[in-house]
Amino acid sequence: MSDINTLAVIGCGTMGSALIQSIYRKVSSSAPKHIILTTATDKSLEKLRIKFKIPNANGISFEFTTNNRLAASKADALLLSCKPDLSLEILNSIKQDIKDKLLISIVAGFSNSRLETFSKYTCTIMASIVLSYTSGPISLTMNPSVAARYGDYLDNLLSQAGSIILVTEDESDITNAIIGSATAFTLLYVESLIQGGISKGLTYDKAKKMTLKMVESTLKMVLTAGESSEELINALVTPGGTTIDGLLTLEEGKFRSTVTLDRKLEIRCILKNDNVRIMHIVFTSDDPDSPGIICTINMIAN
């Protein structure tokens, strides 16, 4: 395994902080000895100081700075986690300090092939903010040379935060949608169930407890049963019962075709002006009666 003692997190926002939190709280001999966190403002930096001020079992020491070049020059490896529209500007400002270092990117929409213009050793990952609370899925895309030199390091580092899933660059867009966005889709479904319970007379607390325990137990069933989701659904329904009636009602609303992610995925990034970009993530279907999902993200530079 490569000897990497210092990790710099460049642009440590929501996702970078979530990943470092998951490493910070889990006891592991593979944790970095020193982590440098950078942000654009002193105000953001102070929030990180407060978040990571409690001593951790791994004995990780932290350094905080607004100077990306300083952090890049001192680090053995870097995690790029800034806003997407700032990525190129930041990478160009530190490129002389990172060309021979491991560069890990968690920036949505920034491909591994683009990163390779800045460093010989690059990889991309995708995760969710659930890492701030518990372990979760982490996708990893890297070429064979990076796998040979840094594979063990990446495995040990990222496995502290969750389950690693190796994906190709061609699979990255749909992976970003599932890992990066599906948490919000799931939360919307959970909130809909809670609101449905309230509409039929349950208190909020009762509806929430029922829904969350149902979701928790359902996921455990899927993980342990060894059967497909379709087989489990068939085991749950009875002829003429309320469950099959509810499933048919969901299909009338095109529930499956609306949320299924194995349809055409299109990501368009439009330059609106010098400092505002609009990213449209569009899920479309060959079925003209099936509505697409459009997620619009305004990315505004500081």
Last residue of a domain, one of 220, 236, 252: 236
Could you list the residues known to form a binding site for NADPH, using ranges: 68
- Co-location of 43 and 152 in the same domain: yes
> Is the CB of residue 23 less than 8 Å from the CB of residue 157?
yes
Could you list the residues known to form a binding site for NADP(+), using ranges: 10-15, 38
Q: Which tops the pLDDT comparison, 57 or 120?
A: 120
- Co-location of 199 and 88 in the same domain: no
Last residue of a domain, one of 121, 140, 167: 167
Could you list the residues known to form a binding site, using ranges: 10-15, 38, 68
Distance CA 253, CA 282 (A): 19
pTM value is 0.77
CATH code (residue 51): 3.40.50.720
Q: pLDDT exceeding 70 applies to what percent of the chain?
A: 82
Contacts for 298 with CB less than 8 Å, ≥ 6 apart: 276, 277, 278
130 in a domain, yes or no?
yes
- Co-location of 230 and 260 in the same domain: no
Cα separation of the two ends of the chain: 38
Give the DSSP H or E segment for 163.
strand 162-166
- Co-location of 257 and 215 in the same domain: no
**Structural domain that includes position 283:** 241-302
List b or e across 193-216, with b for residues whose CB sees 16 or more CB atoms inside 10 angstroms.
Answer: bbeebeeeebeeeebbeebeeeee
Least confident among 22-31, 74-83, 160-169: 22-31
Please write the tens of the pLDDT for every residue from 46-73: 999 999 887 776 788 999 999 999 999 9
Please write the tens of the pLDDT for every residue from 101-117: 999 999 887 888 889 99
- Co-location of 192 and 252 in the same domain: no
Which residue reads 């592991």 in tokens?
28
Please write the tens of the pLDDT for every residue from 227-282: 999 999 999 998 999 898 888 888 887 777 766 654 444 444 333 343 434 444 44
CATH code (residue 212): 1.10.3730.10
- Co-location of 142 and 186 in the same domain: no
- Co-location of 280 and 229 in the same domain: no
Q: What's the token pair of residue 39?
A: 């942000």
Contacts for 239 with CB less than 8 Å, ≥ 6 apart: none
What DSSP string describes 254-300? THHHHH-SSSEEEEEEEE-SSSEEEEEEEEE-S-TTSPPEEEEEEEE
- Co-location of 14 and 134 in the same domain: yes
- Co-location of 42 and 112 in the same domain: yes
- Give the chain's domain count: 3
